[in-house]
Every structure is written in structure tokens, then in C-alpha cells.
């Protein structure tokens, strides 16, 4: 994992905060029905983060209680990339672009349909390997098109884009809370077929009082080829 970058972690007035949740507190949140869990076989580490944001605030035009916040994006980028490393963003999330450039990473934003073109260039060694690839699934409505690849093709292309020690982070089920477990199982199953291995599951959620009894939540599946890079 990368060394934290001061630019990414410098506090800003009015910015959201990301606080780790202990294993004991996570178990209590599950027992209380505040959070549900996806069973993984084999088991992988599950980490929870509480995102605390000023109510009704936003950054880069993105509501802080919906999806990736700037601080959450900064945590992911710090954990799974190096200064100077390449990040390929297939989510087109505004929060990612801002903190990536601030952290000294190289940043490429692309529509998911372009992933196959980049993967082909990577096979020819005409494109550099990525420390981190970010993918949103299910696709955002704006990414839906007749050219958008199906999930098996998309995951295969993402694996090709990765450095052998790089990571693919799937931002799971934004706006589709009731389908989260189903989407997770589908992604993990197809990823396994494409020789990607689930190594970690992060859960980020807002304080329940911001959204009523059920907090806003985003799940982040971390996948790697485990140092293997067969073409």
C-alpha cells in the first residue's frame, strides 16, 4: 500500500471526514440492522468507514451523502496507488478527478466502452500499467449505450489495464440499495472467472440521522490479479 500523501489528507474547512469503524462497532451495527453484510466465500477482510459530512453540503457538485466523497476518494487513492502512479477512472466521478491530481497521480478518465481500446494498447505495450482502476457497477445511466461492454468483457479489460500488483476497485450499486448483495455476488463470481481475486470489502456509510434510520452507503470491492498477468 502507498504511503499517505499530505496533499490528499490535508483537512479542509467544511470538508467531509472519513472515520474507521472498529470490528466490534461494525458487528453491533449489523446486529442492530443498521448495516447488512454480504457473505464472502472464502472470507475476506471487511472494513467499514463512517463518512461524516456537513448536512446538505456538496463538493465538486456531488452530494456528500451519495457515492464517493472527496475524502473517501482520497482514502482509496492513498491505499491503492503510488505517487506518480496511473489511475484509470471508468466511473467519471467528479470527486475522484480532483483528489487524484492533488495527490500527484497520473489520471485518465474514460467511458467504460473505451476500456477495450486501452486494454488492446496495453497488450501491445503502448499503454502504461495502472496502479488503480475504478469501475462503477451497475453502470450509471449516463454510461449506458449500445457500445457499453458486458461485465465479463469489462472485468477482463480492467485486469489487462492493471499493473501485476495493481488493484481494481468496483464501486457497487449506487442508488440500488436493495440489489447490493445480488450485484456483489455477480461481480465477484464473474471476476473469479476473469482471474481476478477479491481481497477486501470496504463499506462506507453516512451517519444514519442524515438519511433517516437507514444510512446512505456505498460498497467498494477490491480485486487484484494477485501478481499474475496472463494475456
- How confident is the model at residue 184, as a pLDDT? 87
Q: How far apart are CA 157 and CA 106, in angstroms?
A: 19
Domains of the chain: which residue ranges? 38-46+54-224
Pairing of strands 46-52, 197-206: parallel
- Rounded to an integer, what distance in angstroms lies between the CA atom of residue 58 and that of residue 55? 9
Greater model confidence, 95 or 9 = 95
Of 64 and 77, the structure prediction assigns the larger pLDDT to 77
Looking at every residue in the chain, the average pLDDT score rounds to 79
Q: Which of 20-29, 62-71, 118-127 has the lowest mean pLDDT?
A: 62-71
The dihedrals phi and psi of 61, each to the nearest 5 degrees, come to 80, 5
The answer to whether residue 4 scores a pLDDT higher than 50 is no
Report helix angle 115-123 to 151-161, nearest 10: 40
81 has a pLDDT exceeding 60: yes
CATH code for 38-46+54-224? Answer: 3.40.50.150
The predicted model gives 48-75 an average pLDDT of 64
Ranked by mean pLDDT, the top range of 15-29, 180-194, 210-224 is 180-194
Which tens digits make up the pLDDT trace of 137-183? 887 655 555 566 899 999 999 999 999 999 999 998 655 556 777 88
Amino acid at each position: 500500500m502507498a504511503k499517505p500523501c499530505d496533499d490528499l489528507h490535508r483537512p479542509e474547512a467544511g470538508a467531509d471526514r472519513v472515520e474507521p469503524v472498529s470490528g466490534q462497532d461494525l458487528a453491533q451495527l449489523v446486529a442492530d440492522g443498521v448495516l447488512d453484510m454480504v457473505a464472502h466465500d472464502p472470507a475476506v477482510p471487511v472494513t467499514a468507514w463512517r463518512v461524516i459530512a456537513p448536512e446538505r453540503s456538496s463538493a465538486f457538485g456531488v452530494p456528500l451523502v451519495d457515492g464517493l466523497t472527496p475524502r473517501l476518494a482520497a482514502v482509496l487513492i492513498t491505499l491503492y496507488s503510488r505517487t506518480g502512479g496511473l489511475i484509470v477512472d471508468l466511473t467519471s466521478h467528479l470527486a475522484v478527478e480532483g483528489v487524484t491530481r492533488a495527490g500527484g497521480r497520473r489520471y485518465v478518465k474514460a467511458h467504460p466502452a473505451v476500456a477495450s481500446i486501452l486494454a488492446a494498447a496495453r497488450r501491445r505495450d503502448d499503454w502504461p500499467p495502472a496502479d488503480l482502476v475504478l469501475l462503477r457497477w451497475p453502470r450509471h445511466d449516463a454510461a449506458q449505450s449500445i457500445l457499453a461492454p458486458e461485465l465479463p468483457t469489462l472485468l477482463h479489460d480492467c485486469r489487462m489495464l492493471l499493473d501485476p500488483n495493481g488493484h481494481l476497485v468496483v464501486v457497487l450499486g449506487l442508488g440500488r440499495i436493495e440489489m447490493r448483495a445480488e450485484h456483489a455476488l455477480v461481480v465477484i463470481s464473474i471476476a473469479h472467472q476473469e482471474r481476478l481475486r477479491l481481497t477486501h470489502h470496504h463499506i462506507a456509510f453516512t451517519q444514519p440521522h442524515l438519511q433517516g434510520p437507514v444510512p446512505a452507503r456505498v460498497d467498494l470491492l477490491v480485486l487484484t490479479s494477485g501478481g499474475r498477468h496472463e494475456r
